[in-house]
Amino acid sequence: MSEAVALIAETRDRVGKGTSRALRREGRTPAVIYGDKKEAISVSLETNELTKVINKGGFLSSIYIVQVGKDKHQVLPRDIQLHPIRDTPVHVDFLRVSAKSQIAVFVPVNFLNEEECVGLTRGGVLNIVRHEVELLVPATKIPEAIEIDLTKFDIGSSIHISDFTLPKGVEATITDRDFTVATIAAPGGGADDDAEEGEATEGEAETSEE
């Protein structure tokens, strides 16, 4: 995990739609910091700087330090509202976290050694069911991604969450089944391909239900 990025914020004495609109006209984004059994505080951040951080990617799965005056809050963004046209942030919810906090976050999946994968070199197709997986992790040790080596997988293989070696203290939020993350589908739409497509559809349905 990389070092937490610092964000400078100012307190908001008043809240409400009118105050929020005024802040946005001034180039600032309203936000709230809550959690860790402490009182919630209303703040605002400079919109251009916040947008730069968001555009770097992984915003909702990264720890930040929000500095409000002399106080520093270690936080994880839990919700961000974007303008429907300009796609700029209009409000952010920050959750205070500590080394003892356990949180659920979506972490990207990286597939390694596609060139050496047995099934892919035989003409198979990598069918990704889940591009990211929801994991329960220590708040200050969020993995940037989880990885799987594809070398050994052949056509017809299903890659399940149990095939991944997760970091210490990290587990999937889905614990009642060994869910599929990807498959190596047969080329040409054969019978194996149809079966794997059905499994992929089931996995996508599971994702939508979550």
The domain that holds 128 is classified in CATH as 2.170.120.20
More confident residue, 191 or 164: 164
Q: Is the domain of 170 the same as that of 136?
A: yes
**Mean pLDDT over residues 166-188, rounded?**
94
Alpha carbons 150 and 140: distance in angstroms, whole number: 29
CB 169 within 8 A of CB 103: no
Q: What is the CATH number of the domain that holds 27?
A: 2.40.240.10
Work out whether the CA dihedral 56, 60, 63, 68 comes out positive or negative.
positive
- How far is CA 88 from each of CA 20, 102, 154, rounded to the nearest angstrom? 14, 29, 44
Is the pLDDT at 192 greater than 60? The verdict is no
The total domain count for the chain is: 2
Residue 40 structural domain: 5-96
DSSP 3-state assignment of 86? coil
Q: Is the domain of 88 the same as that of 45?
A: yes
Q: Is the domain of 110 the same as that of 83?
A: no
More confident residue, 174 or 194: 174
Give 49-100 pLDDT, tens digit per residue: 999 999 998 898 889 999 999 999 999 999 999 988 888 999 999 999 988 8
Q: Which of 96, 119, 143 is the last residue of a domain?
A: 96
Q: Is the domain of 144 the same as that of 160?
A: yes
Give 27-50 pLDDT, tens digit per residue: 999 999 999 888 999 999 999 999
